Structure 1
């Protein structure tokens, strides 16, 4: 890997982005299209499609990601963010590197 971008998100992060996008679209767009919705969300969220989600905790969720940001994401779970060491992070990234994504095949 030449570059890794890490975004730390909480469970509530996606909610505000959806509300902000809906407010903007309701006041600015005369006709709603899929393209307009996608463009608005991409501009307001500024989070690219996510390749790997490290989910810390016992419950299963999107961890603050919007569903369309995580559609290609590999989810790896760890017990707690408090006990996550750098060596654990390296192991998770290594595991992710070994995953063969089939893209629905």
Structure 2
């Protein structure tokens, strides 16, 4: 048993649960967040969402994530690529998020997140 791998896995699971509880109200206007998984060694995030009015969930995967703060102090989730389980949605996301970043809620504890991620 490799203690480093076990600790990293436990950290990822704990952080995934914490961010799942934060993501639920943030994404509630669009649907129900069913699952959120962080793999910090891979710098990836996977979110499963059941959009309002839909019967099948959509999977969103961010690869190469990071955190950034702009000149106003606003926090952003940055990423290298975003894919979804729906090709049409991935294409929309490519256009809508061309700068490869997502604005985080103003109350996001950036220092804590940066230390954890």
Whether these two folds match at TM > 0.5 is: no
Scaled to the shorter chain, the TM-score interval is under 0.3
Point out the structure with max Rg over C-alpha: 1
Instruction: Write 1 or 2 for the structure with the bigger share of strand.
Output: 2
TM-score normalized by the length of structure 1: 0.25
Instruction: Write 1 or 2 for the structure with the bigger share of helix.
Output: 1
